Structure 1
Amino acid sequence: MPHHAAALPSTAAHTDELEHLLSRRSAWPLKQPGPQAHELAAILQAAAVAPDHAGLCPWRFKVVQGEHRQSLLQQVLAHPLAQTEAVRGLHGKYTLKLTTAPTVIVLAAHIQPHPKAPEFEQLLAAGAAVMNMLHAAHLLDYSGFWSSTPEPLGGILREVMRFEPHDQMIGLLNLGTPATSQPDPAARPSWQTYAEVWQA
């Protein structure tokens, strides 16, 4: 039993579900099957329960599946920013990021000026929304992999996929089934290493 599981009260409700949630880990590469339409809808809906100060919904996601993955890839590789020698060397990496998993969700933080919700709070909310989707996918027995979109990939995706100019690209969420056998859940630090019960 994982170390973190030992601290769970044996009488807690939904202990099995919590144990399953605590076994989540990233997996790569991913293959079919990916989430079905109703499962994908539930995964995307999970984003909506992220903490969201001022109710701004400061995230925008675009889902790419099937042959549309190859279409997106071709537009990315044909973009003027992808023609430099340095970026041409990354075309293979872009191909893996955009076409390996059956479901690819392109992620952006949709930051909006607001007197009570500063930018950092909105970025945290967008990250929480993505984490909720990872958890939802795991509870549905799919695996996920959240990767970054370093420039110029982020800018290319923003333009090709018609995100708004001020949207900040925060990565790609790949969803599917592990293509290789996965090791046991990764060792996690005990909560006592990063949290304490404070007393005055």
Structure 2
Amino acid sequence: MSLLLNHPEVIKKAQAEIDEFVGDSRLLGADDVPRLGYLQSIISETLRLYPVVPTLIPHESTADCSVGGHHVPGGTMLLVNVYAIHRDPAMWADPAAFRPERFEGGGAEGMFMMPFGMGRRKCPGEALALRTLGLVLGTLVQCFDWDTVGGGEVDMVEGVGITLPRAVPLEAMCRPRQGMVDVLREL
């Protein structure tokens, strides 16, 4: 939500997509989420900039090896810095910018994305997490208009922690979207 609040044009575009594919006579459902390409792009871009665990889970080399031309003795703890990989200017144009459009139409396929890890140690909950995130974020975008408290930008400075919390807690205001009032009353 923090990134979306700083980019209201992205919220409006997501709302337009949801209005087109779902409408305002019912709440977004789990079956709708895969059809919402722009919503999926928002999620991908958010996970690129702010992976759930920025250094993934530690691994240990079982034997001496070489990684990127560097000697790694057996028994060394190895961390994959996904945060840095996802912001590498050699791989991503304008890597610090929040631009969901880079993922539209599979445009970023082949780029190195691994917010949930990769290979046999990839997070087994990735599909569930993405489905849940799509459903929750999509519903929040479908049902409400959002704004920051005080009308300024959300402070994106990161705090300390394994999951990149905001240094300043998010404060936001929401109002039911006009077309969704009746649907929300039925809940």
TM-score for the superposition, normalised by structure 2: 0.23
TM-score by length of 1: 0.22
Structure with the bigger percentage of strand = 1
Task: Pick 1 or 2: higher relative contact order, CA cutoff 8 A, min separation 6.
Answer: 1
